[in-house]
Structure 1
Amino acid sequence: MAQRTQRTNPPEDVTDHHFLQFPQTMNDATRVRYVTNLSLLLTKEIDIAPSFDWELATGTGLAALIQEFLQYTHSDASGVDLFECQGWARLFRIQEPVYREFLLEFYATVSYDPRKAPDDRTTFAFRLGGVRQECSVIELATRVGIYIADETRSDRFPTFLADCLTERPDDYNENTFWAEITGAVYTPSTARGGMIRSTTYRMLHRLISMSLTHHKNKLYFDARKKYHPGCHDMVDTFLCCGRFFIARRGYHS
């Protein structure tokens, strides 16, 4: 694992930065919401997750073990291939510099309306670099590099999105899933990724937990007993992994 690029020794208080000085001219209720969110964020530690060393993984042959999980071909009910998704592979390869001011500004101001269509350009609203921005779910995914523009213009892309697994399947059970991949009884307080028997699944769990749930393999708190941003308990982590494995290939030991 290689540490993501970030500024060393970030200041404890950056509220005087002009990106975080929300204009007095904006709507009063909106400004109060931004300031309140920022105040909460400043009580939390921003912990940057390490990025995955794909060069090392490729050199040792480990990358090849998980490649089939990172490429997904979406088919219709008759088995005809409609769309080849490279989103997981691209997501896990994102390695960009991280700046505290941008993180604070984005998370203090972002809003999302799940009722709107994926291509509605007002679905996401946020401020970044002192400027208000709006974009759709699809635009956000292309901006961060999960999809490319040509893919999203395909007439099959909306069907692919509509069929994507977004909720836990009714037949999914974390206890059964944990028993399948570890052979052990699932106990959230003691469950660890290192207990997964398959090397492939251990790597995938590491990628998912660090990229999506931002978890370091155990629950931890700062001195003020606040959750670190993005930190979830083991139930959340393994539920997410379970969704991934079920959506991709099913789960096996």
Structure 2
Amino acid sequence: MAGRMQRTNPPEDVTDHRFLQFPQTLNDATRALYVTNLSLLLTKEIDIAPSFDWELATRTGLAALIQGFLQYTHSNASGVDLFVCQGWARLFQIQEPVYREFLLEFYATVSYDHRKALEDRTAFAFRLGGVSRECCVIELATRVGIYTADETRSVHFLAFLADCLTEWPDDYNENTFWAEITGAVYTPSTARGGMIRSTTYRILHRLISICLTHHKNSQQDDGDDE
């Protein structure tokens, strides 16, 4: 259902790229931090995340089932629908080329101040294409393609974001949830996506885990989920 991970071997002269030559005009401490971060990143692999085959999902009748889980409706206390979020669906439809130099530059320089408001344009700071840039959380999500500009202008948009879950619900119990979807006892060391009984849930698990962590799949996971 999803494409395989591809390993990108770093070019030998990657540090000679002009986007990774941080200018001497930067604050000494800032430049030293960027160089340190870059040195650490160069020791790691950058994997290209697989893309999801929505055409195949449509032909097999799974697309409609999955889309139902990926859409969230924000309602008021009276149950009136105020805002429909399509962000998850758009996230899983992103299929763009990956450029190692851009990734290295961004991750070596990005910083985020969580204390600032979501619409504060100084919350995110980073370099991209050799230029220092700033944007707010909402603008970043819009530029990535998760939200549209019209959606972010909605009078209900900020209320929708504030209402989103950022931590586990009080009544959540991982053992009970795992038992419901697998019929087995939850043991972290042996839990696998292939144990989930619902095909739809297994696909959702794969989508979320890959898009959020970009971890490569083990042979056991591949065998269970394919």
TM-score (norm: length of structure 1):
0.82
d(CA) in 2 for partners of 1:14 and 1:193?
36
What do residues 65-115 of structure 1 show as CA deviations (whole Å, max 9, x unaligned)? Answer: 211111111101110111011101101101100011011000000000011
Cα separation, 2, equivalents of 1:95 and 1:22: 29
C-alpha contact (below 8 Å) 1:125/1:132 kept by paired residues: yes
Match of 1:174 in 2: 174
Task: Check the 8 A contact 1:38/1:104 in 2, yes or no.
Answer: yes
User: Deviation of residue 2 (structure 1)?
Assistant: 3.3
Q: Distance in 2 between matches of 1:7 and 1:16?
A: 21
Q: Secondary structure at the match of 2:140?
A: helix
- Give the Cα separation in 2 of the matches to 1:209 and 1:152: 26
Structure-1 residue corresponding to 2:223:
none
The offset of 1:215, in angstroms, is 2.9
Does residue 127 of structure 1 match 2:127?
A: yes
Gaps of 5+ in 2: 220-226
Aligned residues: 218
- Tell me if the contact between 1:122 and 1:135 (Cα under 8 Å) persists in the aligned partners: yes
The residue that corresponds to 1:2 in the other structure is: 3
Q: Normalising by structure 2, report the TM-score.
A: 0.91
Contact preservation (8 Å) 2:8, 2:46: no
CA distance in 2, matches of 1:130, 1:139: 20
Partner residue, 1:223: none
Q: Which runs of 5+ in 1 are unaligned?
A: 220-253
Q: Percent identity?
A: 86
| Letter aligned with residue 176 of structure 2 | T
Where 2:134 maps in the other structure, the secondary structure is strand
User: Is the Cα–Cα contact under 8 Å of residues 174 and 186 in structure 1 kept in the other structure?
Assistant: yes
Closer, same or farther: CA 12–177 of 1 in aligned 2, 3 Å:
farther
How far residue 10 of structure 1 moved from its aligned partner, in angstroms, is 4.2
1:138: which partner in 2? 138
Deviates more, 1:44-53 or 1:108-117: 44-53
Q: How does 1:31-50 map to 2 (within 5 A)?
A: 31-50=31-50
Report the CA distance shift for 1:105/1:23 in structure 2 as closer, same or farther (over 3 A). Answer: same
Offset of 1:174 from its aligned partner? 1.9
Structure 1 CA distance for aligned equivalents of residues 202 and 3 of structure 2: 18
Shift of 1:170: 2.4
- Secondary structure (helix, strand or coil) at the match of 1:38 reads helix
- 1:94 alignment partner in structure 2: 94
What are the equivalent positions in structure 2 for 1:46-125 lying under 5 Å apart?
Answer: 46-125=46-125
Alpha-carbon offset, residue 218 of structure 1: 4.8
Runs of 4+ with deviation above 3 angstroms: 6-10, 216-219
Q: Tell me, yes or no, if the aligned pair for 2:7 and 2:46 is still in contact at 8 Å.
A: no
Deviates more, 1:61-70 or 1:142-151: 61-70
Deviation at 1:177, TM superposition (A): 1.6
State the 1:163 CA deviation: 0.5
Secondary structure, in 3 states, of the residue corresponding to 2:115? coil
Query: 1:12: Cα distance to partner?
Result: 4.2
